[in-house]
Amino acid sequence: MDTPDFPGWHGTTILGVRKGGRVVVAGDGQVSLGQTVIKGTARKVRRLSPGGFDVVAGFAGSTADAFTLLERLEKKLEAAPGQLARAAVELAKDWRTDRYLQKLEAMLIVTDGRGLYVITGAGDVLEPEHDVAAIGSGGMFALAAARALMDSDLDAETVARRAMAIAADICVYTNGNLTVETIG
């Protein structure tokens, strides 16, 4: 994400785990500028309730950009209540084609307890193949750890918490201060 106009904000780790009829989205709390930790208690996982329909969303990237995308997602969900996949696709289409939105530097993981999706600015709405999705600088570490834990007897939240702890031990842009939301 480092571009000449972009100040070097790094990371986060957001992880979504679907197991046993539950979906957990966990995010760390670290915000870094270059090699400096600016904040360790950021909340990058949010519960949205447009029209009484619960959705959990986690974001990586620029906070202001992510909030813009979350507001747009809420509007899409209000227009299509209970249809997260449709709202996600509509958001991705807008993000890909709208000149203003194209400049946004963030990614989202969203779930309604049934679907689990990664939404990107490239127009992608991806549903994970193995019931685990991850984004951010520590995302691949958390993804690998969660995938390894999925065959265990652990529940979704425990898988997510352990995988996030592993990512925090490896990725310098990820800390162990978690926000965890469960749905389903």
Active site residues: 12
* Rounded Cα gap, residues 184 and 173, in angstroms: 30
| Beta carbons within 10 angstroms of residue 33's beta carbon | 12
123, two tokens: 């127009």
Question: What's the CA angle centered on 155, arms 154 and 158, to 5 degrees?
Answer: 80
100-122 in b/e form (b: 16+ CB < 10 A) is ebeebbbbbbbbbbebbbbbebe
Give the bridge partners for 58, in sequence order.
Answer: 45, 109
* Rounded Cα gap, residues 91 and 118, in angstroms: 12
